[in-house]
Amino acid sequence: MFNRRTLVGASIATAAALTLSACGNDGGSEATETNGTVVVAATPVPHADILNFISENLAEDAGLTIEVQEFTDYVQPNVATADGSVDANFFQTEPYLDEYNAANGTDLTTVAPVHIEPLGLYSNSVASVDEIPNGAQIAIPGDGSNGGRALALLADAGLITLADGVDVTLATEDDIADNPKNLEFVPLEAAQLALSLEDVDAAVINGNYALEADLSPAEDALFSESPEGNPYANYLVTTAANADNPDVQKLAELLQSDEVKQFILDTWSDGSVIPAS
């Protein structure tokens, strides 16, 4: 078993290093060439899976070639998009993108919403929200937008109360009005959350990392977000200069096609991934 303090320190250090490496990118001032090929940065599940489905089944008829570059974190795909190493990326929500742009001076922009991955609260030690003990340690994503989203989930689960009028996409521990179980929150890099389940009482885990750990929001979560009215769609993202690139627009159309929606419904029939519209 790893030491929780070591994990927290390593995760924060890693996140800090990644963020510093991203600073200074001005967000791609020139559009990429239209040549029938789109290079897309994506996290493996479900984003790369969806892109690979398009590549194998739909792209040729649309006159498009898709090259997928897989990343396992939430920073480097934006770095690669901003510096022009890739044409676009597919992994993030709009609140996360807004936070990233503000922190790094980039002008990355959303192109098309594709799917929703409900956020879930998971545990290896308790079987229900009611069993979470007083003083429990709850791991949450360490970035601001996903951290706020996690606190909103815990509020919906009845574990905490957020102050009136708080923008949940920006909520922090300072916005907690009531914490009746005196929960301790452990911010971690999102990729580490599933690994932390052996060392905390529960963890709020992003959908893609839950899927990689064989966890289902519908079947394994103590509590999960409702898909109804969920504002956290995952988007295809590119630079502002590249947003009207015909190849990127063609990929956006394929990502929102009926064929992709059906692929999502068939592949994640438990509701772990849901078409955005």
Residue 38, φ and ψ in degrees, nearest 5: -120, 120
Residues comprising the chain, all counted = 277
Tell me: pLDDT of 101 over 90. Answer: yes
Tokens of 198: 């052996």
DSSP state of 176: E
Q: What mean pLDDT, rounded, does the chain reach? A: 90
Per-residue confidence (pLDDT) for residue 163, from 0 to 100: 97
Average pLDDT of the segment spanning 3-20: 39
The two beta strands, 108-116 and 176-178, are: unpaired
Residue 51, φ and ψ in degrees, nearest 5: -65, -40
- 220, 174, 225, 172: which is closest to 197 by C-alpha? 220
Alpha-carbon gap, residue 208 to 56, rounded angstroms? 22
Alpha-carbon gap, residue 243 to 111, rounded angstroms? 7
Task: Report the helix count and the strand count for the chain, using DSSP H and E.
Answer: 8, 13
Alpha-carbon gap, residue 17 to 13, rounded angstroms? 6
Which H, E and C letters describe 87-126, residue by residue? CEEEEEEHHHHHHHHHHHCCCEEEEEEEEECCCEEECCCC
- Model pLDDT for residues 136-183, shown as the tens digit of each residue: 999 999 998 999 999 999 999 999 999 999 988 889 999 999 999 999
- From start to end of 15-87, where are the E strands? 37-42, 65-70
Alpha-carbon gap, residue 157 to 228, rounded angstroms? 16
Per-residue confidence (pLDDT) for residue 11, from 0 to 100: 41
Alpha-carbon gap, residue 248 to 38, rounded angstroms? 7
Query: Which position has the token pair 């452990």?
Result: 186
Write the single-letter amino acid at 196.
S
- Model pLDDT for residues 48-95, shown as the tens digit of each residue: 999 999 999 999 999 999 999 999 999 999 999 999 999 999 999 999
